[in-house]
């Protein structure tokens, strides 16, 4: 009984103990619509805040953990990226809806570990091998594996910042290189990648070019799937998905994982 109490108190205190290691690990990377802005609003002083509203699809679950900024597994809660994308006001993102949907569809799936790595406003060149963001992604991925578990997929939601530059015609090659480098550096040659095709209303003139690249992936890579964010609704800025659409995207990501990557058979 004393040991059980110890582990319970350790979990509450965010102490990393062996029994808190999740079985299935998912990396979350990209820019602001991955880190989440659902529920954000501007107050009378034009300061961005989060409304604090957490729908059931985004609720905490003892079987869903997150790797915090200190690389410690803690109970996942919204805003999921609050200590990672810390220069911005984070709100609801697709991560918790994704994990909750998996557990809803497959109750025997086991524990899920989410590894937030997304940073708002980033272009794909900022995710090149050797950059701060790329190195942080690899470092956090390796830290997540300390103690066991398996990385099941990378969830990728990025591209809005590449829509206003003619350089967008290089997006395809950069995306392929990013995925290949990550697989090589994590030593997971068949790492599944589930990306979101962007659709924000207020973006640059090359948004359709980026969307086309994302929708027409995998370029013969059967371990890459794309879900479409088209049909989403937005905050007043017409760039960031609102809570309703973040939930929808998270559930789409979960459906893609369960249907394509052996998600119905937990490891």
Residues marked as catalytic: 32, 237, 240
Q: How far apart are CA 219 and CA 65, in angstroms?
A: 33
Q: Spell out the residues 6+ positions from residue 15 whose beta carbon is closer than 8 angstroms to its own.
A: 72
Question: Residues 65, 25: contact at Cβ < 8 Å?
Answer: no
137-145: list long-range contacts, CB under 8 Å, 24+ apart: 137/27, 137/29, 137/182, 138/182, 138/185, 138/186, 140/27, 140/67, 140/71, 140/115, 141/25, 141/27, 141/115, 141/186, 142/186, 143/67, 143/71, 144/25, 144/27, 144/67, 144/71, 144/113, 144/115, 145/25
Q: How far apart are CA 250 and CA 77, in angstroms?
A: 15
Question: Residues 93, 79: contact at Cβ < 8 Å?
Answer: yes
Backbone angles phi, psi at 107, to 5 degrees: -60, -25
Q: How far apart are CA 91 and CA 78, in angstroms?
A: 7
Question: Residues 66, 113: contact at Cβ < 8 Å?
Answer: yes
Residue 123 Ramachandran class (φ > 0 left, ψ -120 to 50 alpha, else beta): beta
């Amino acid at each position: 009984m004393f040991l059980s109490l110890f582990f319970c108190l350790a979990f509450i205190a965010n102490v990393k103990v062996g029994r808190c290691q999740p079985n299935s690990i998912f990396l979350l990377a990209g820019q602001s619509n991955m880190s989440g802005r659902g529920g954000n609003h501007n107050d009378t002083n034009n300061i961005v805040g989060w409304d604090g509203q957490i729908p059931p699809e985004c609720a905490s679950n003892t079987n869903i953990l997150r790797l915090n900024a200190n690389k410690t597994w803690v109970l996942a809660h919204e805003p999921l990226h609050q200590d990672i994308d810390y220069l911005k006001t984070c709100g609801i993102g697709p991560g918790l809806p994704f994990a909750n949907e998996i557990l809803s569809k497959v109750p025997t799936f086991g524990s899920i570990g989410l590894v937030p790595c997304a940073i708002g406003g980033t272009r794909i060149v900022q995710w090149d091998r050797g950059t701060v963001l790329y190195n942080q992604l690899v470092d956090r991925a390796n830290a997540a594996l300390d103690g066991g578990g398996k990385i099941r997929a990378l969830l990728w939601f990025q591209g809005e910042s590449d829509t206003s530059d003619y350089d967008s015609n290089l997006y395809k090659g950069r995306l392929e290189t990013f995925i290949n480098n990550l697989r090589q550096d994590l030593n997971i040659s068949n790492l599944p990648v589930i990306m979101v095709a962007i659709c924000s209303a207020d973006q640059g003139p090359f948004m359709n070019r980026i969307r086309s690249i994302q929708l027409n992936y995998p370029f013969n890579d059967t371990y890459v799937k794309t879900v479409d964010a088209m049909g989403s609704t937005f905050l007043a800025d017409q760039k960031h998905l609102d809570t309703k659409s973040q939930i929808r995207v998270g559930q789409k990501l979960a459906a893609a994982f369960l249907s394509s990557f052996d998600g119905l058979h937990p490891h």
